[in-house]
Amino acid sequence: MLEELKNITIDENDTIKNSIKKLNLSGKRTLIVVDKKNKLLGTLSDGDIRKSILKVFNLNTKIKNLYQKNPLYLTEKSYTNEEAKKLFISKKITLIPLINSKKTLTSFVSIDNFFDSKEIPHNNFKIPVIIMAGGLGTRLKPFTNVLPKPLLPFENKTIIDRIISNCESYNLTDIFISINTQSKVLRAYLEEMYKNSSIKIRYIEEKKPLGTIGSIKLLSNKRFKTFMVINCDIISFFDYSSFFDFHKKKKNHISFVVSQKQLANPYGVCKKDRKNNFVQIVEKPITNHLINVGIYLINSDIIKYIPRNKEFNATDLINLVKTKNKRIGIFPVSEDCWSDLGQWNQYNSFLKNYDN
């Protein structure tokens, strides 16, 4: 327990960047903030971190003014399991610190101790998932001359198996896969792989390229309120239930995942003043951007804005829906929480790391 406790505690003078690393390594959604003597100061949730990324936009910012300083906690020697379960359900939290009479952190209880993954209240969001697998994989040639991109290996699975497995861990078993007319190998593989599975797989077949989201128009006759869309080259490691809670709480029509990305300019960049006088030159400056990851939650009433049988991208839909005064939310995650395997350099980097 001491080692596990060490993995989820953090000092208030630590940075957002280190707190993200700790969350990812611990597999929890909350860190416990303590002082040098292990006295409980507060808690820092993944939601607190998301808000801070949008607000300060600097991962080296200290968490001192970002965490919750009045946390829920229980006294180790007097709490009951029933009391803990009620708090998990009523407060929608996933971790509770346990303290002694001096308010020193001694342990913690996690929602995992009381519910299995399919019973956890935050995981009960039964919505369909649409995996966009109709691309031609041109960025990954020559690999995709042999295998469809979704069937390329990732660890001990294919890319699409990894995505489906992640969905299944959140009890998301109603899956549509958008494919093109050249996807016979992919379809044959999936039908064999999941024929005796609890996962229900159906197909959306594009007769011609419809962009990154155009094929969803073919689902306009289906009855569901909200659905999730995942690009087939995106492997994610963040908590889907937090994403869904965010979408529902904010009453968004579209929510999409974003991540901070540092981009290096390959050139020396000149800076000038308002009178066009030279100020300085900066060699290969690095700039921060929030980029679209390629994972979305969309309400079904938005499908009407997608044109039929036309190439239409997710960016087109988001920009169009914004003009209709619909609510659109961005859900920030760290760079460590996802990988774009559709990019040759990232996929190649993964292969090298896996071989090592």
Three-state SS for 80?
coil
Higher per-residue confidence, 281 vs 93: 281
Tokens representing 251 are 């009453």
Q: Looking at residues 169-195, what average pLDDT do you find? A: 89
- CA 198-199-200 angle, to 5 degrees, is 115
Mean of pLDDT over the chain:
86
Of 110-119, 160-169, 195-204, 259-268, which gets the smallest average pLDDT?
110-119
Tokens of 154: 């990732």
Q: Residue ranges of the alpha helices (H) in the chain? A: 2-8, 16-26, 46-56, 81-91, 159-168, 184-193, 240-249, 314-323, 344-355
Cα 161 from Cα 180, distance rounded (Å) = 18
Question: Are 2-113 and 121-355 the same fold in CATH?
Answer: no
Residue 265 to residue 226: CA distance in whole angstroms: 39
Q: Which of 261, 260, 262, 282 is nearest to 270 (CA)?
A: 282
Q: Which pLDDT belongs to residue 228?
A: 97
Q: Please tell me the distance from the alpha carbon of residue 327 to that of residue 323, in angstroms, as a whole number.
A: 10
Whether the CB-CB separation of 131 and 163 falls below 8 Å is answered with yes
Q: How far apart are CA 190 and CA 53, in angstroms?
A: 38
Q: Highest mean pLDDT range out of 135-139, 176-180, 294-298?
A: 294-298
- Where are the chain's structural domains? 2-113, 121-355
**Percent of the chain residues past pLDDT 70, beyond the cut:** 88
Does 121-355 carry CATH code 3.90.550.10?
yes
* 251, burial (CB in 10 Å: exposed 0-12, middle 13-18, buried 19+): exposed
**pLDDT digits 0-9 by tens, 108-139:** 988 877 766 555 555 557 899 999 997 765 66
Lowest-confidence segment of 102-106, 206-210, 246-250, 347-351 by average pLDDT? 347-351
End-to-end CA distance of the chain: 31
How large a percentage of the chain has pLDDT more than 90? 47
The class of domain 2-113 in CATH terms is alpha beta
Q: How far is CA 277 from the centre of its chain?
A: 44
153 or 228: which leads in pLDDT: 228
pLDDT digits 0-9 by tens, 338-355: 888 776 666 666 666 655
Q: Can you tell me the mean pLDDT for 215-220?
A: 88
The model's pLDDT over 6-41, given as tens digits with 9 standing for 90+, comes to: 889 999 999 988 888 888 777 788 999 999 999 999
Higher pLDDT, 147 or 48: 48
Q: What is the DSSP string of 217-256?
A: GGGTTS--SEEEEEETTEEE-S-HHHHHHHHHHTT-SEEE
CA distance 187 to 38: 54
**Contact of 144 with 158, CB cutoff 8 Å:** no
User: Which residue reads 């229900």 in tokens?
Assistant: 200
**Residue 62 DSSP one-character state:** B
DSSP class of residue 128 equals: -
- 53-97 pLDDT, tens per residue? 777 667 788 999 889 999 999 998 888 888 888 888 888 788 899
Give me 162's structure tokens. Answer: 């990894």
pLDDT for 178 beyond 90: yes
